[in-house]
Amino acid sequence: MSSPDPENRLVEWFRRWRTPLRRFLASRSAVRPADFDDVAQEVFLRLLRYDAAQIVEHPQAYLFKMAANVAAEWSIRSSNRLAHEPHWLASLATEDRADHALDCEAAQLEIKRALNTLSPRERTILKLFFEDGLSQAQIAQSLGVSFRVVRRDFEKSYGKLRRELNGELTRALQYGRE
> Can you say whether the dihedral through the CA atoms of 103, 105, 108, 114 is positive or negative?
negative
Instruction: Report the C-alpha gap between 85 and 169 in whole angstroms.
Output: 25
Complex with other proteins: residue 49 or 84, whichever CB lies closer: 49
Complex with other proteins: residue 51 or 96, whichever CB lies closer: 51
Sorted by sequence, the CB contacts under 8 Å of residue 140 that are 6+ apart come out as: 146, 147, 149, 150
The minimum distance between CB 1 and other proteins, in angstroms, equals: 6
Complex with other proteins: residue 88 or 164, whichever CB lies closer: 164
DSSP designation for 177? H
The minimum distance between CB 73 and other proteins, in angstroms, equals: 16
The minimum distance between CB 164 and other proteins, in angstroms, equals: 9
CA angle 10, 43, 178 (to 5 degrees): 55
The minimum distance between CB 86 and other proteins, in angstroms, equals: 33
